Amino acid sequence: MSRTSKPKRLPSTVISARASISTIARNRTGKGGELATSNQKGSDSSNARMSDYYEDRLSAERLRECYEIAPPRIRRYLNAETGFVSKRIHGSRRVLELGCGYGRAMKPVVVHVKLAVGCDTSRRSLRFAKSYLHSHRSIGLVCANASYLPFRPGIFDAVFCIQNGISAFGVNRRQLVAEAIRVTKDRGQILFSSYSQRIWEERLAWFRAQSKAGLVGKIDEAATGHGTIVCKDGFRATTVSRAEFKRLFSDAGENPRIEEIDDSSLFCLVRK
């Protein structure tokens, strides 16, 4: 994917806003709950393909099924990530999750903060999240591209993007990082994660189980390896190394710290 291509800008729609988020939007809330941002389409076909994939193939109930069939080691990894985030952002006023899906990670995190906002490109997943998170009032759900966020600068105490979202979104990573930094307040926290090399075999086994269940396409075994999983239906997931995390955030003017947890997850931590 070209690093210079413009991000695809979606019409940013509020799916659920029990806790009002209009005060933190970049522009005024328009009719029908739409935030007043233009619908500028980017030229990045990779971005569009992955957005379409998660909307058409891996959204809502199908996305949840991916996690329901996860083996014990992967469940431990997932819980380790949300636990790590929860401890670091405990007591925060406003936090944002990039790529919230159906709300899997938001559910354990929201009890630690006053307001949790999730954004995702899949309206199906967000509508499912509205039901999945119905017992929590301090949430907001927004359909938006994480590389062009409809929020004012410096509005969140913390922004997190976990479980390899930086790769799975298929967007320009520099732009994604720049947006996370932009909407985080001074002295706020930014938490990104990718897979550790130590969990490669378990990760691949999980994806093979997803493929067998018909949730993703058949694994392209010839193209899969060295941290990258490729399916014959167009799905592709890479990882981000320590060096790339450091380069992305250092080039954006921040001082990142890398921490590996649970022998499974590589976290990039920034105090803005």
Quote the tokens at residue 99.
């790529």
Q: Which residues contact 4 (CB under 8 A, 6 or more apart)?
A: none
In a structure prediction context, what are the per-residue pLDDT tens digits for the chain, which is 272 residues long?
333 344 445 555 665 555 556 667 765 333 333 333 323 333 355 555 666 777 778 899 999 999 999 999 999 999 999 999 999 999 999 999 999 999 999 999 999 999 999 999 999 999 999 999 999 989 999 999 999 999 999 999 999 999 999 999 989 999 999 999 999 999 999 999 999 999 999 999 999 999 999 999 999 999 999 999 999 998 888 999 999 999 999 999 999 999 999 999 999 999 99
Residue 116 lies in a domain: yes
Token pair of 223 as six digits: 């193209």
Q: What is the pTM of this model?
A: 0.86
CATH of the domain at 227: 3.40.50.150
In a domain, 55, yes or no: yes
Residue 1 lies in a domain: no
Domain residues for the domain of 252 are: 13-271
Number of domains in the chain: 1
Residue 258 placed within a domain: yes
